[in-house]
Chains A and B, each alone.
Chain A
Amino acid sequence: MPAALEQTTAAVVSIKDVIKEFGPLRVLDGVSLEVERGQTVAIVGRSGSGKSTLLRCIAGLETVQGGGITVCGHPVGRPGSAARAQLRRDVGMVFQSYNLFPHLNVERNITLALTLVKKQSKDEARKRAAEVLAMVGLTDKVASYPEQLSGGQQQRVAIARSLALQPQVMLFDEVTSALDPELTAEVLGVMENLAHHGMTMISVTHEMGFARRVADVVVFMHQGKVWETGPTAEVFANPRTAEFKQFVGSEL
Chain B
Amino acid sequence: MSYKFDFEFLAERWPDFVAGAWLTIQLTVLSIALGFVVGTICALARVYGGPVVRRVAGAYVEAIRNTPLLIQIFIVYFGLSSLGLKLSAEVSAVLALTINMGAYTTEIMRAGVESIQRTQLEAADCLGLTRLQTILHVVLLPAMERVYPSLASQGVLLMLASSITSQISAEELTATANLVQSDTYRSFEVYIIVAVVYLVLSALYRLGFWAIGLALFERRRRLGTPL
A residues near B119, Cβ cutoff 8 Å? 95, 97, 99
Q: Complex formed: what's the CA distance from A162 to B127 in Å?
A: 7
Q: 1/0 contact trace for B200-223 toward A, CB 8 Å?
A: 000000000000000001110011
Q: Find out whether the CB atom of A145 lies under 8 angstroms from the CB atom of B133.
A: no
Q: Complex formed: what's the CA distance from A197 to B137 in Å?
A: 32
A residues near B122, Cβ cutoff 8 Å? 61, 95, 99
Q: Find out whether the CB atom of A101 lies under 8 angstroms from the CB atom of B126.
A: no
Q: Complex formed: what's the CA distance from A161 to B222 in Å?
A: 22
A11 contacts chain B at the CB level, 8 A cutoff: no
Q: 1/0 contact trace for B102-130 toward A, CB 8 Å?
A: 00000000000000000110111111110
Given A102-B219, A145-B219, A116 and B123 touching (CB < 8 A)?
no
A238 contacts chain B at the CB level, 8 A cutoff: no
B142 contacts chain A at the CB level, 8 A cutoff: yes
Q: 1/0 contact trace for A90-101 toward B, CB 8 Å?
A: 011101010111
- Chain B contact-residue range equals 20 to 34
B residues near A117, Cβ cutoff 8 Å? 127-129, 133
Q: Complex formed: what's the CA distance from A92 to B125 in Å?
A: 10
B23 contacts chain A at the CB level, 8 A cutoff: no
B residues near A104, Cβ cutoff 8 Å? 219
Among residues of B, the one whose C-beta sits closest to the C-beta of A161 is B127
B residues near A112, Cβ cutoff 8 Å? 127, 129, 137
Which residue in B126, B129, B142 is a CB contact (below 8 Å) of A103? B142
Among residues of A, the one whose C-beta sits closest to the C-beta of B137 is A112
Q: Find out whether the CB atom of B125 lies under 8 angstroms from the CB atom of A145.
A: no
Q: 1/0 contact trace for A137-181 toward B, CB 8 Å?
A: 000000001011000000000000110010000000000000000
Q: Complex formed: what's the CA distance from A105 to B122 in Å?
A: 19
A residues near B69, Cβ cutoff 8 Å? none
- Chain A contact-residue range equals 20 to 34
B189 contacts chain A at the CB level, 8 A cutoff: no
A residues near B142, Cβ cutoff 8 Å? 101-103
Q: 1/0 contact trace for A17-61 toward B, CB 8 Å?
A: 000000000000000000000000000000000000000000111
Which A residues form the contact surface with B (CB < 8 A)? 59-61, 79, 85, 88-89, 91-93, 95, 97, 99-105, 112-113, 116-117, 145, 147-148, 161-162, 165
A-B residue pairs, 6 tightest by C-beta: A88-B128, A99-B123, A113-B127, A93-B126, A117-B128, A103-B142
Which B residues form the contact surface with A (CB < 8 A)? 119-120, 122-129, 133, 137-138, 141-142, 145, 217-219, 222-223
Given contacts A101-B123, A101-B124, 14 further A-B contacts (CB under 8 A): A61-B126, A85-B128, A88-B128, A92-B126, A93-B126, A95-B123, A99-B119, A99-B122, A103-B145, A103-B217, A104-B219, A105-B219, A112-B137, A116-B129
A-B residue pairs in contact (CB < 8 Å), sample of 20: A61-B125, A61-B126, A85-B128, A88-B125, A88-B126, A93-B123, A93-B126, A99-B119, A101-B120, A103-B145, A103-B218, A112-B129, A113-B127, A116-B129, A116-B133, A116-B137, A117-B127, A117-B133, A145-B223, A161-B127
